[in-house]
Chain A
């Protein structure tokens, strides 16, 4: 009843459609500006030219040749992929245990996990920095992989646990009767059922690692170990900011995550709203 049927031209031109277009423009215009500026000739970046004319790839080659964007991209890729893999492996094991096994104190554990995920990063960076300095981990991959894994695990465990809860007990029992060991049961019976949860946890972890800035800035400041956000924030000197190069690098940095989020959008939305559904 709320969505009245519209007839004639009102189907195409009405308040809802107009408001949708305004919303779309609100999102698209800054993005357009980012992409358009990245394709401008370096001198045109310092103007308000609306369309890149001529279209130039100079900023892109400058990002990779003049700056070490290739290194940053590689570092981000390594850190993000390893951390995401670890989160999924450890998160599946813990999510399975906390969801399905008769452990005493598991609800307390889950509540503590929820509280940890609330803590701001700034509360942990000083001790972690001193600790890593002590054991010589500053400027290394593990300096980011370990914290990223830890910070993304609580959400992954919650999501995976919720999926594990929904798997009928009989399926698992069938496996056990057939003589499958516990690991085998998880691998071939529970895991396929929890696949949507793995997608959701995975895409969230990937996005969080790809965009994280504060820890990357604090722990890995050497040029060889910088990730994309730290690298981009440090392009150029204090007086002149090479926006063209920055935007070319930005487009390259945004594309992989954009594609992933687009492919897995169903799971992203289910992750974003998992609290809303349960609350």
Chain B
């Protein structure tokens, strides 16, 4: 396979490139920027400009006036406030904890599901279609559904726990059960997504490696651990990255299910920023929370790439 493709590469490089007049090239380049301009302008207006402005706001004393706001000079106090705020620290801790636990559980479960589906002879298409339903679900609906399931008086989770002799825990009203409850809702919605990505990676693995492993008398478990998993590393890195990004921006689920409570037990960084910005109108500190969250997401991405040492998004041209 490699021999064939490299041979064809040789052929194409050996063929003389069609000479194009330089003027034509310039004209095409201009046309290219003309074609991309509308998209790039929209993107810049709605993402790059606000991101920069968020950073500016977070570094300023922002005063909200009658019909607007004003920036009153450079200051580092917003970040200073953040670092010394127990609210921010607990939100940071909750968000990181939530991200780590859900991503690990979803990865393990998703890989198991993918391994099962790969061996499934009939009905794989139907299973894939089924797995897409939670993915396409509105998160707010997912939140309402699980809040109903966890309800203390008529929730089905309550009946199940009681049937197992665990009494009637107030699920969304007690910190630890509330966090676990949120995680379960998240795991239900996103594990299928991880499973689909891992399955796609599994299907593409070369079959001859497995034959070699079998000839060597490797056990199933050994093969999985030493052959499948290393080959799957880029796929898993991609899934982890998507999930870390999503989980770190966590907002919809706790906003609807617990509104950050009980107390501040499920207050994520996004919820903290939202409350600071739109309930307390503290635009300086709110922007500081938002900016630092974005920064942490970037760092999280880089860390993930480091751990997996995979080149996600890097393509040959």
Interface residues of A (CB under 8 A from B): 1-3, 16-17, 19-20, 23-24, 26-28, 30-31, 33-34, 37, 45-48, 86, 90-91, 93-94, 96-98, 101-104, 106-107, 109, 113-114, 116, 118-131, 133-134, 146-147, 149-151, 153-154, 157, 182, 207, 210-211, 213-214, 218, 228-230, 232-233, 241, 243, 246-247, 250, 253-254, 257-258, 261-262, 265, 268-269, 272-273, 275-279
Contact A214 B301 (CB under 8 A): no
Determine how close the nearest CB of chain B comes to the CB of A42; give it in whole angstroms: 13
Provide the bound-state CA to CA distance between A272 and B196, in Å.
Answer: 8
B5 vs chain A, min Cβ distance (A) = 15
Partner of A250, one of B138, B153, B197: B138
Known: A91-B39, A125-B274, A210-B138. 14 other contacts (CB 8 A): A1-B214, A27-B130, A45-B154, A46-B153, A97-B32, A109-B40, A118-B245, A126-B54, A127-B54, A150-B46, A211-B139, A272-B196, A273-B201, A275-B238
Q: A241 to chain B: which residues have CB within 8 Å?
A: 144, 147-148
> Is there an interface contact between B154 and A211, defined as CB atoms closer than 8 Å?
no
Check if B156 is an interface residue, CB within 8 A of chain A.
Answer: yes
Q: Contacts A114-B313, A272-B200 hold; do A279 and B277 have CB atoms under 8 A apart?
A: no
B119–A2 contact, CB under 8 A? yes
* Binary interface encoding of chain B residues 32-65 relative to chain A, with 1 for a CB under 8 A from any of its CBs, else 0: 1111101110110111111101100100000000
Interface residue from A1, A90, A126, A232 paired with B144 (Cβ < 8 Å): A232
Contacts of A2 in B (CB 8 A): 119, 207, 210
Complex: how many Å from CA A29 to CA B5? 48
B38 and A93 form a contact (CB under 8 A): yes
Q: B161 near A: Cβ within 8 Å? A: no
Are A118 and B297 in contact (CB-based, < 8 A)?
yes
Q: Number of B interface residues at 8 Å Cβ cutoff, please give it.
A: 108
Q: Which residue from chain A places its CB closest to the CB of B253 in the assembled complex?
A: A213
Give Cα A191 to B67, complex, Å: 48
Flag whether B75 is at the interface (Cβ < 8 A): no
The CA-CA distance from A261 to B132 in the complex, in Å, is 7
Give residues in B with beta carbon < 8 Å to A.
25, 28-29, 31-36, 38-40, 42-43, 45-51, 53-54, 57, 68-69, 112-113, 116-117, 119-121, 123, 127-141, 143-149, 153-156, 159, 188, 192-193, 196-197, 200-201, 204, 207, 210-211, 214, 234-235, 237-239, 242, 245, 248-249, 251-252, 255-256, 269-270, 273-274, 277-278, 283, 286-287, 290-291, 293-294, 297-298, 301, 310-313, 315, 317
Q: Point out the residues of chain A lying under 8 angstroms from B129, CB to CB.
A: 262, 265
A contact residues around B51 at 8 Å (CB) = 119, 123-124
Residue from the set A2, A98, A104 with the largest chain B CB neighbour count within 10 Å: A2
Given contacts A93-B38, A123-B293, A182-B31, contact A250 B144 (CB under 8 A): yes
**With A19-B116, A20-B117, A228-B138 in contact, is A94–B35 under 8 Å at CB?**
yes
Nearest-CB distance from A184 to chain B (Å)?
13
Please report the C-alpha to C-alpha distance between residue A253 and residue B182 in the assembled complex, in whole angstroms. 22
Q: Which residues of B contact A272 (CB under 8 A)?
A: 135, 193, 196-197, 200
User: Is B298 a contact partner of A151 (Cβ separation < 8 A)?
Assistant: no
Q: How far is the CA of A211 from the CA of B134 in the complex (A)?
A: 12
Per the bound structure, the CA–CA distance linking A34 and B113 in Å amounts to 23
Contact sample, A vs B, 19 pairs, CB 8 Å cutoff: A20-B123, A93-B38, A94-B38, A118-B297, A122-B251, A126-B273, A153-B43, A210-B138, A213-B251, A233-B140, A233-B143, A233-B255, A247-B144, A272-B135, A272-B196, A272-B197, A273-B200, A276-B200, A276-B201
Given contacts A122-B273, A124-B50, A125-B290, contact A33 B149 (CB under 8 A): yes
Which residues of chain B are near A246, meaning CB under 8 Å?
141, 144
